[in-house]
């Protein structure tokens, strides 16, 4: 009797060993059936950015010992996700063998568009999968992480000293901006004299920095008597365009443009353009001296003529 009990205990231990070795972290082998399990493999980039594309990869495993024919996998995109027109939502996989798992699982890839108004955080996306005639299927939802990597800026004019205009650039967004370059681009009413760009480095959310430029106000070029002159109006209000280039948290280089209300342009350096001839003031002064000289000569001549007549 004792001998029989020992034999039964050993048989039980030998039966349990293969059962334990067949167990993985999330799945177990299912004998005599098809047992499919989808896995969300990865997303690239992580997190996904609004108004951009994200690549999604899934795996489909068969933990059953039986093979499955006519296997299909379908992505069911709902807001804020969508596929480009003409893109296939369903992938036909054909036959999956029993215990086709891990590195032997089917890998499925989709390129998905993220709406520009996508909410920050985890957004659900659904998949369907099945086999056979396709009338029966299972569904599962996964989370796709969305975060806006961009930031925003506010630019104000701090003042003008000795012809140098100082701008304050504040990061008013929620993300850090890297490798910032501030530029005064070509524009109708203003120009940067000398250096038009300034590298200001990184700027954390909520921080600000300063950048200074030699900014000149300009107006329409007038042609007069073969000489070029700018008709400057230092009190005319206007908006200065400032271009900010930066690298976002995903490593994407971006550029934004801001308008700075400079109000009265008094104090901003006026554009200086040399002319080849004398100014109108110089011409007027020279003519005046010439006229006085001519009148003086005439007066001297008349004086001597009158004096000569009296002697006679």
Query: Residue 159's pLDDT is what?
Result: 82
pLDDT for 160: 81
Q: Which residues contact 113 (CB under 8 A, 6 or more apart)?
A: 52, 53, 81, 82, 83, 84
pTM: 0.60
For the chain, 312 residues long, give each residue's pLDDT as a single digit of tens: 445 444 444 433 333 323 222 334 456 899 999 999 999 999 999 999 999 999 999 999 999 999 999 999 999 999 999 999 999 999 999 999 999 999 999 999 999 999 999 999 999 999 999 999 878 899 999 999 999 999 999 999 988 887 789 999 999 999 999 999 999 999 988 999 999 999 999 999 999 999 999 988 875 333 333 333 333 333 334 789 999 999 998 888 999 999 998 764 444 554 443 333 334 334 344 555 555 555 666 665 565 555 555 445
The class that CATH gives domain 153-270 is mainly beta
Same fold, 20-146 and 153-270: yes
Task: Quote the pLDDT of residue 250.
Answer: 84
Domain range annotation of the chain: 20-146, 153-270
Q: How many CB atoms lie within 10 A of CB 114?
A: 21
Q: What superfamily in CATH does domain 20-146 come from?
A: Immunoglobulins (2.60.40.10)
Task: Give all strands of the β-sheet with 190-192 in edge-to-edge order.
Answer: 190-192, 215-217, 269-270
């Amino acid at each position: 009797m004792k001998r029989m009990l020992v034999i039964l205990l050993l048989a039980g231990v030998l039966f349990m060993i293969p059962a334990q070795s067949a167990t993985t972290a999330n799945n177990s082998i299912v004998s005599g059936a098809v047992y499919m399990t989808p896995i969300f493999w990865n997303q690239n980039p992580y997190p996904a950015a609004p108004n951009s594309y994200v690549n999604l990869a899934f795996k489909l495993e068969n933990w059953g010992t039986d093979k499955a024919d006519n296997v299909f996998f379908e992505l069911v995109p709902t807001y804020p996700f969508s596929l480009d027109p003409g893109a296939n939502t369903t992938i036909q996989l054909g036959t999956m063998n029993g215990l086709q798992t891990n590195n032997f699982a089917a890998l499925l890839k989709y390129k998905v568009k993220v709406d520009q108004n996508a909410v920050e955080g985890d957004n659900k996306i659904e998949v369907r999968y099945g086999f056979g005639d396709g009338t029966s299927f299972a569904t599962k939802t996964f989370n796709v992480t969305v975060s806006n990597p961009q930031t925003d800026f506010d630019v104000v004019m701090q003042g003008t000293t000795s012809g140098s205009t100082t701008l304050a650039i504040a990061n008013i967004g929620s993300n850090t901006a890297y490798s910032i370059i501030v530029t005064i681009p070509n524009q109708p009413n203003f120009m940067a004299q000398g250096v038009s760009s300034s590298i200001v480095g990184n700027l954390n959310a909520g921080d600000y920095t300063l950048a200074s430029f030699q900014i000149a106000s300009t107006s329409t070029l007038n042609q007069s008597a073969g000489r070029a002159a700018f008709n400057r109006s230092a009190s005319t209000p206007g908006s200065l365009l400032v271009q900010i280039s930066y690298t976002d948290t995903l490593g994407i280089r971006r550029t934004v443009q801001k308008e700075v209300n400079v109000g009265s342009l008094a104090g901003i350096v006026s554009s200086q353009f040399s002319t080849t001839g004398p100014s109108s003031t110089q011409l007027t002064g020279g003519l005046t001296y010439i006229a006085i000289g001519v009148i003086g000569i005439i007066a001297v001549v008349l004086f001597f003529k009158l004096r000569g007549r009296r002697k006679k």
